[in-house]
Amino acid sequence: MDTRSHILVWDEEYRHVRWGGPRPVSDVEKEVLPGSLVLDAGCGNGRYMLPLSRIYNVVGVDVARNALSEARSYLARSDRHAECIASTLTALPFSDNSFEAVVCYGVMQHLFESERRLAVEEIKRVLKPSGILFIEVFGTDDMRFGGREAEHNTFVRKGGIIYHYFTEQELASLLGGFVQVDLQSIKTEKTFNGELHIRHLIKGRASLQKAMPR
């Protein structure tokens, strides 16, 4: 396990984070056949793993053992099962070419640059040649951008958690080892205390082979 403080702090963070309900996985459903083996990379307390487990054979990894314990409880209550393993993204405990898909939503922004590169290499390694990575990260136009900078566009927040904010070009470059990368910026307006703010996400897919025409 990685012993850096910004990794270990997640176990403490999940003592306070509560289940927010399952999140949509429609992007995955559109492209990945039911019954496929899917990795939820950075699964947290299971908000994506639970809906994925209704369709796929799912394995979830996370650094926070408290989060994994909660995820198992939520799965059990819904009479669902997924294997939950404590691991960093930079050293995944799986064989090469294991998964038809990897879901990595809201995770890559919590790593330093060198760790992000390692994590992407590990994801590529465990994906099958026909596999797809589904990814979502914070964008630089997000209202939360800023703070005590540790690296370029990377900030340290409460308890030592890392927040990195991407441009589309940066994320595309990070995923440059994939054959096909499709990304889009999603900006939504939120009002807080009477003031308008922007939430910015960059979301998309990356594959090791060109998609076949439909």
Confidence (pTM): 0.93
Please say whether the beta carbons of 45 and 82 come within 8 A.
no
Q: pLDDT digits over 18-74, tens only?
A: 777 899 999 999 999 999 999 999 999 999 999 999 999 999 999 999 999 999 999
pLDDT of residue 2: 42
If DSSP states are collapsed to H, E and C, what string results for the chain?
A: CCCCHHHHHHHHHCCCCCCCCCCCCHHHHHHCCCCCEEEEECCCCCCCHHHHHCCCEEEEEECCHHHHHHHHHHHHHCCCCCEEEECCCCCCCCCCCCEEEEEEECCHHHCCHHHHHHHHHHHHHHEEEEEEEEEEEEECCCCCCCCEEEECCEEECHHHCEEECECHHHHHHHCCCCCEEEEEEEEEEEEECCEEEEEEEEEEEEECCCCCCC
Strand partners, 139: 166
Pairing of strands 99-105, 180-192: unpaired
CATH architecture assignment, domain 5-207: 3-Layer(aba) Sandwich (3.40)
Q: Is the pLDDT of residue 214 over 70?
A: no
Alpha carbon distance 123, 90 (integer Å): 9
* pLDDT, position 3: 46
Q: Domain extents for the chain?
A: 5-207
Return the pLDDT at 192. 82
What is the per-residue pLDDT across 89-140, written as a single tens digit (0 to 9) for each?
999 999 999 999 999 999 999 999 999 999 999 999 999 999 999 999 999 9
